[in-house]
Structure 1
Amino acid sequence: MKVNTRLFGEIDIADDKIIEFPGGIIGFPDMQKFTLIYDLDGKGSKEDQTALMYLQSMDEPQFAMPVVMPVDIFPDYNPVIDDDLLTDIGKLTPLNTYCLVTISVPSDIKKMTVNLKAPFIINTDTLKGAQVMVEDDVAVKTPVYDILAARKSGKEA
């Protein structure tokens, strides 16, 4: 499938790389088909799990959200999610579950945050996903700059 995106220009995405969100995503219920695009401009690779990725809408090519794997920043992140919210994406196991969260990078990079309250849960076997609200007491805007800066300098935050 070819799509002309705002951030990446024209891209061709194989059908087996399209993730379906049967219920859409929060705020955008009509956007149901997405793909993951890795930031490979010298900042990371698919093997580098801390790399920035984009959840690119295939329904609305102008829409892409930067996402990261939360466990790369918060290793103990294990959200409590009502099982009923995930029934549409198939049976989840530790081997087929992929979790992403949005990252917001404002003009003042020191105010960078991730949204731990509404992760994207993807079943890699069915290529179906859901964005859900977790039951945990976590912030929608969790600061991450100090953690990432400390990690980059080789020091723990």
Structure 2
Amino acid sequence: MKIKTKFFSEVEVEEEKIINFPNGIIGFEDLKRFVLIDHPGSDVIKWLQSVDEDGFALPVIDPVKFFPDYAPSLCESDLKKLKLNSIEDAVVLCVLSVPQEVERTTVNLKGPIVLNSLERLGAQLIAENPEYMIKHPVTIFQKKET
């Protein structure tokens, strides 16, 4: 099927790639279906693109690539709703916030996106770890020298 996207015009998406978020994403509870799209020229950034709202997409990263010890403590009942036995069975992504001054980019370690890729289920959950912040500094973009 073809979907319109925020940044990539129209893209072809296989039905099997659609991830269902029964409760939506925090702040966007009405959006239930998403796909992951690779960011051109980057092997670390992906876009969590709404299938139903072409103007909504979130940049996401695998937090372990930047924070090797990242291990969110998540509510067991939340994992069960995603048909997961443990966090080790999930794909975990975190949302980037990229301001105009890209060197001030932050990542939300407190509210990871947790995916069960086999069941095509997803949710944004809250990590119980007190050390994780919603706006944790992360260096993804290098400031260009002029």
TM-score (norm 2): 0.89
- Percent sequence identity is 40
Decide whether the 8 Å contact of 2:103 with 2:141 is kept in 1: no
* Match status 1:139 vs 2:133: yes
Gaps of 5+ in 2: none
Equivalent residues in 2 for 1:40-59, closer than 5 Å = 40=40, 42-44=41-43, 51-59=44-52
Instruction: Point out 4+ residue stretches in structure 1 off by more than 3 angstroms.
Output: 92-96
Decide whether the 8 Å contact of 1:86 with 1:130 is kept in 2: no
Corresponding residue of 1:79: 72
**What amino acid maps onto 1:54 in structure 2?**
W
Corresponding residue of 2:12: 12
Question: Cα distance, 1:96 vs. partner?
Answer: 3.7
**What amino acid maps onto 2:74 in structure 1?**
I
**Distance in 1 between residues matched to 2:105 and 2:38, nearest whole Å:** 19
**Distance in 2 between residues matched to 1:120 and 1:87, nearest whole Å:** 15
- SS of the aligned residue for 1:55 comes to strand
* Match status 1:35 vs 2:35: yes
Q: How many residues align?
A: 141
**Distance in 1 between residues matched to 2:121 and 2:76, nearest whole Å:** 15
- SS of the aligned residue for 2:30 comes to coil
Q: 1:97 to 1:76 in 2, by over 3 A?
A: same
Q: 1:16 to 1:92 in 2, by over 3 A?
A: farther
Question: Cα distance, 1:32 vs. partner?
Answer: 0.8
* Match status 1:60 vs 2:53: yes
Give the alignment's Cα RMSD to 1 decimal: 1.7
Decide whether the 8 Å contact of 2:47 with 2:60 is kept in 1: yes
Question: Cα distance, 1:43 vs. partner?
Answer: 2.7
After superposition, give the CA deviation of every residue in 1:16-40 in whole Å (9 maximum; x if it has no partner).
Answer: 1100111111001111100000113
**What amino acid maps onto 2:133 in structure 1?**
A
Which range moves more in the overlay, 124-133 or 84-93?
84-93
**Distance in 1 between residues matched to 2:61 and 2:115, nearest whole Å:** 13
Decide whether the 8 Å contact of 1:96 with 1:125 is kept in 2: no
- SS of the aligned residue for 1:75 comes to coil
After superposition, give the CA deviation of every residue in 1:59-102 in whole Å (9 maximum; x if it has no partner).
Answer: 21110000000101000000000111222211245664100000
TM-score (norm 1): 0.83
- SS of the aligned residue for 1:85 comes to helix
Question: Cα distance, 1:11 vs. partner?
Answer: 1.0
- SS of the aligned residue for 2:81 comes to helix
